[in-house]
Chains A and B, each alone.
Chain A
Amino acid sequence: MALFDWGLVLSEILIVTIMVGLIRIVRGPTAADRMLTAQLFGTTSVAILLLLGEAQDNPSLQDVALIFALLAAITGIAFVRHTWNTEPETHD
């Protein structure tokens, strides 16, 4: 029962940190700041999912956490490869 409470409390703290991180999306100076905030949301969501899975005795949430980690990496790679260009290059 104690573990149940602590999982929910910690996941709520992590949700509050996500809401604080929204500030950096709104007033991030560069595109990389905004994209790194999305990466931070992915990492924090993995932590929230693992804590909720532990709190609700639901081990299948670990699979959802795995998918989150995988897709955050894919989104970051797409940003670096396709959007974040600081110098001109020849396409194709």
Chain B
Amino acid sequence: MSFLQWSIDGLLALTLLWLAWQLLTHPDLFRAIVLFIAFGLIMALVWVRLAAIDIALAEAVIGAGLSGTALLVTLRRMGERQPQQRNSEPHHDSEA
């Protein structure tokens, strides 16, 4: 029982560290945003394991949900502003 709890915490910590390393070092912005959303979800699970359920609620709402949505919208606005093709119209949407 204790070994099970230790292994759950260890797996969560390993996943969290790997996600943080990947999202900080990757040049693709959309992949970093998806990794950030996954990081928020795992972080909320870690707060639940630490018996801080209210912080887990705040992390799920602010960290994973609202920040992920805001970052996705921001990525689209950045893609609109960058000149992707020099010859086409400037409001051409770009796939990140």
Chain B residues lying within 8 Å of A90, measured Cβ to Cβ, are 91
Interchain CB contact under 8 A, A86 and B95: yes
A37 to B35, CA, bound (A): 10
In whole angstroms, what is the CA distance A2 to B12 when docked?
Answer: 23
Proximity string of chain A (1-33) to chain B, C-beta cutoff 8 Å, 1 when within and 0 when not: 000110011011001101100100110000100
- Residue in A31, A48, A72 whose beta carbon sits within 8 Å of that of B95 in the complex: A31
Q: Is the CB of A26 within 8 A of B22?
A: yes
A83 CA / B95 CA spacing, docked (Å): 7
What is the interface size of chain B, counting residues whose CB is below 8 A from a CB of the partner?
Answer: 44
In the complex the two chains form, is B41's CB within 8 Å of A91's CB? Answer: no
Taking CB atoms, residues of chain B closer than 8 Å to A4 are 1
Q: Is the interface of A mostly helix, strand, loop or mixed?
A: helix
Question: How many residues belonging to A are interface residues under a CB distance threshold of 8 Å?
Answer: 46
A91 / chain B contacts, CB cutoff of 8 Å: 80, 91, 93
Give B22 Cβ to nearest chain A Cβ, in Å. Answer: 7
Q: How far is the CB of B55 from chain A (nearest CB, A)?
A: 10
**In-complex Cβ contact of B31 among A15, A25, A52, A72 (8 A):** A25
Q: Mark A68-91, 1 if CB is under 8 A from B, else 0.
A: 101110110011001101101111
B88 smallest CB distance to A (angstroms): 9
**A58 pairs with B15, CB closer than 8 A:** no
Q: Give Cα distance in the complex from A70 to B96, angstroms.
A: 25
Q: A8-B1, A41-B42, A67-B60 are in contact. List 4 more A-B contacts (CB 8 A).
A: A16-B11, A25-B31, A67-B57, A71-B66
Closest CB pairs A-B (n = 5): A71-B65, A78-B69, A85-B93, A34-B34, A82-B76
